[in-house]
């Protein structure tokens, strides 16, 4: 079934200990859509400027991603400049030029209205809510956010959280949102804010899902589930790893006939798999040339590196 | 089969966000021995002062731990004073009084010589080596160390590393020892220093084992294995969690007829289980009143929270 994603399409200028790139294709919606496209149909809502060229469009088209909901407007694309130093888990923002994103008002094409799954990537919660309201019949809504919205736009964010099936954020964001250093207590506070399930991404340490009674009504499950990460020799560029995780996770979910606890757990593993590929090259490079066979091989590796056996 | 452990028996004065205790029983050998005692026979080499009373001895005896190798001498026990603030993964040392530990020279009783497994807890690598040399026929040797020895006693430590079947340290220690921020690259450098296997403990994010070709000669295994941790609502006192992990890990290994990859992986899970209990109360409190049934129930929980299933 189709996923509709709303979020940024951007150019990123990134420096890491492995090198640097200038203005490579990026943005949360881009990374999410590419990762999810290996599992299901993806439709994108976003805005780009005149510097978004046919060669960038081709990246989406090559993965059969529907971009008729991407608005072309005068000006330049959103441009993020950032740096990772020794600690590759921490991005240092050197510049954010919103450009065309500054006046972005999401419009949903008629052809997108039957989407069953909705992903609200990390943008202004007011916009997330606007999109959510226009899609009242979706089966499942997941979302992301970040420190900037948690700190300065809490009321709008609270309204978004109440409508989410799953919120995907990282440890620092979870602790900030709940104002609580203990992760389990933070998770319980966040679940009380509305999301039925919380997924906390730990970067190189994998991810943990925290379930509520609303996660799988009628199913008995543990209160949490942990998916591993793959130790990688060369983390070239962590940008987009979280969005790729979300894309793998939600893409797999949307491809399955029913969202059971077992499907949800496998989706967490696929999230980790897609995140692990994303960081192997700058920007979208690695995921662009990925194959489904590579994904399935790495899924098997994730299982092997985390599962007990009898030998 | 019996494990011989050499390390500190101490009193700890600890303050955490959950409270404070003054001079509770602690020390690496104590935490290790208590955890391992649920799986196999444990023998302790250490030194205590006149403040080590029958009530402290009773803690070991209640778990059938052999302490005839614990030397009683004039003076006071090793005393550590420390604090955990909001980040419970980081201990702040406020005071270290070595006391009787300052002149400690390990002596191995004749009755201990047939021990098959040896654990070198975190002490001066010169002493670790001395004990190792006196036990030439042990089947398996594991060890721990810390920043202080990595920084200031590197040559002695290097000799110890060459004789280890497994080294158990945390992320920060691994990065410092290898002088490399990427964990997989750090692990490969450390394996090149001698240990056949490296286990890196990630605190609340579990632990990863990095294998070399010497880990299981004749077996094909992945290069690593990840064991989860249990999200805990109340981390009362993290002191001794790493030693309890080591005790659960090595205790289980020593209880099995053969150390296969499957046994090793289950041992990692038992390590996580014992660490998760250790932090639930101050000092040794929680592990003292633990039962094997509780351990097995939690082991099942660790499996459930990390394993894919078919529902």
Q: What are the pLDDT digits (tens) for B76-95?
A: 999 999 999 888 888 999 99
CB-nearest to B269 from A185, A222, A308 is A308
Relative orientation angle of helices A261-278 and A292-304, to the nearest 10 degrees: 110
pLDDT at A221: 76
Interchain CB distance below 8 Å, A231 and B222: no
**Closest of B210, B43, B61 to residue B117, by C-alpha:** B43
Relative orientation angle of helices B28-36 and B241-255, to the nearest 10 degrees: 40
**Closest of B5, B23, B35 to residue B240, by C-alpha:** B35
**Closest of A265, A9, A259, A221 to residue A138, by C-alpha:** A259
| 3-state DSSP percent of chain B in helix, strand and coil, to 5 | 40, 25, 35
Interchain CB distance below 8 Å, A219 and B311: yes
Per the DSSP assignment, residues forming a β-bridge with A221 are none
Q: Which segments of chain B are extended strands (E)? A: 3-6, 10-16, 19-26, 42-48, 66-72, 78-84, 91-97, 117-120, 140-143, 166-170, 197-201, 207-211, 224-227
Q: Which segments of A17-100 are extended strands (E)? A: 19-26, 42-48, 66-72, 78-84, 91-97
Interchain CB distance below 8 Å, B183 and A204: yes
pLDDT at A219: 82
Least confident window among A34-48, A78-92, A153-167, B242-256: A78-92
CA distances from A3 to A37, A41, A271 (A): 9, 6, 15
Average pLDDT, chain B: 95
Do the Cβ atoms of A295 and A249 come closer than 8 Å?
no
The yes-or-no verdict on residue B310 having pLDDT over 70 is no
How many alpha carbons fall within 13 Å on the CB side of residue B200?
27
Can you say whether residue A194 is alpha, beta or left, with left for phi > 0 and alpha for psi between -120 and 50 degrees? left
pLDDT band at A234 (very low <50, low <70, confident <90, very high): confident
pLDDT band at B220 (very low <50, low <70, confident <90, very high): confident
Cα–Cα dist B67/B207, whole Å = 30
The yes-or-no verdict on residue A311 having pLDDT over 70 is no
Cα–Cα dist A105/A86, whole Å = 38
Phi, psi at residue B147, to the nearest 5°? -50, -40
pLDDT at B311: 53
pLDDT at A86: 82
pLDDT tens per residue, range A106-135? 999 999 999 999 999 999 999 999 999 999
Interchain CB distance below 8 Å, B307 and A311: no
pTM of the model: 0.95
What's the mean pLDDT in A240-262? 96
Do the Cβ atoms of B282 and B13 come closer than 8 Å?
no
CA pseudo-torsion sign A144, A160, A213, B291: positive
Cα–Cα dist B213/B191, whole Å = 10
pLDDT band at A217 (very low <50, low <70, confident <90, very high): confident
What's the mean pLDDT in B274-278? 98
Average pLDDT, chain A: 95
Which 8-state DSSP code applies to residue A205? G
pLDDT band at B283 (very low <50, low <70, confident <90, very high): very high
**Closest of B222, B296, B210 to residue B38, by C-alpha:** B296
The yes-or-no verdict on residue B249 having pLDDT over 60 is yes
What's the mean pLDDT in A189-206? 97
The yes-or-no verdict on residue A268 having pLDDT over 80 is yes
pLDDT at B89: 80
Cα–Cα dist B163/B193, whole Å = 10
- Judging contacts by C-beta atoms under 8 Å, the chain B residues touching residue A210 are 231
What's the mean pLDDT in B222-247? 94
Do the Cβ atoms of B247 and B32 come closer than 8 Å?
yes
Per the DSSP assignment, residues forming a β-bridge with A82 are A14, A93
Interchain CB distance below 8 Å, B234 and A301: no
Do the Cβ atoms of A43 and A4 come closer than 8 Å?
yes
Q: At CA A214, angle to CA A210 and CA A219, rounded to 5?
A: 90
Residues of chain B whose C-beta is under 8 A from some C-beta in A?
Answer: 86-88, 181-185, 187-188, 202, 204-206, 208, 210, 219, 222-226, 228-229, 231-235, 260-262, 265-266, 269, 301, 303-311
Phi, psi at residue B258, to the nearest 5°? -150, 145
What's the mean pLDDT in A144-150? 95
pLDDT band at B36 (very low <50, low <70, confident <90, very high): very high
- ipTM associated with this complex: 0.92
Cα–Cα dist A278/A244, whole Å = 7
Interchain CB distance below 8 Å, B266 and A308: yes
What's the mean pLDDT in B18-30? 96
CB-nearest to B181 from A87, A208, A231 is A87
What's the mean pLDDT in A142-150? 96
């Amino acid at each position: 079934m189709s996923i509709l994603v709303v979020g940024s399409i951007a150019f990123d200028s990134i420096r890491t200990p492995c090198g640097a790139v200038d203005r490579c294709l990026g943005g949360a919606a881009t990374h999410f859509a590419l990762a999810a496209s290996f599992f299901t149909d993806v439709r994108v809502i976003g805005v780009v400027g005149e510097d978004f060229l046919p060669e960038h469009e081709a990246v989406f088209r090559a993965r059969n991603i529907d971009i008729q909901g991407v608005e072309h407007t005068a000006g330049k694309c959103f441009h993020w400049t950032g740096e990772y130093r020794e600690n590759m888990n921490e991005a240092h923002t050197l510049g954010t030029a919103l450009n065309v994103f500054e006046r972005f008002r999401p419009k949903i094409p008629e052809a997108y209205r039957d989407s069953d799954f909705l992903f609200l990537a990390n943008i202004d919660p007011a916009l997330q809510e606007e999109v959510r309201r226009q899609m009242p019949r979706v089966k499942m809504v997941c979302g992301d956010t970040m420190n900037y919205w948690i700190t300065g736009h809490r009321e709008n964010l609270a309204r978004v959280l109440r409508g989410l099936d799953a919120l995907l954020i990282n440890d620092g964001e979870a602790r900030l949102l709940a104002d609580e250093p203990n992760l389990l207590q933070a998770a319980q506070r966040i679940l009380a804010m509305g999301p039925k399930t919380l997924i906390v991404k730990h970067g190189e340490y994998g991810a943990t899902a925290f379930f509520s009674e609303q996660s799988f009504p009628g199913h008995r499950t543990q209160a949490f589930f942990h998916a591993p990460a793959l130790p990688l020799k060369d983390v070239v560029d962590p940008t987009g790893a979280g969005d790729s995780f979300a894309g793998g996770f939600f893409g797999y979910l949307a491809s399955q006939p029913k969202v059971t606890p077992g499907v949800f757990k496998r989706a967490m593993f696929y999230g980790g798999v897609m995140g692990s590929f994303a960081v192997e090259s700058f920007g979208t490079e690695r995921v662009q040339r990925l194959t489904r066979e590579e994904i399935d091989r790495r899924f098997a590796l994730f299982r092997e590196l985390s599962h007990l056996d009898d030998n």
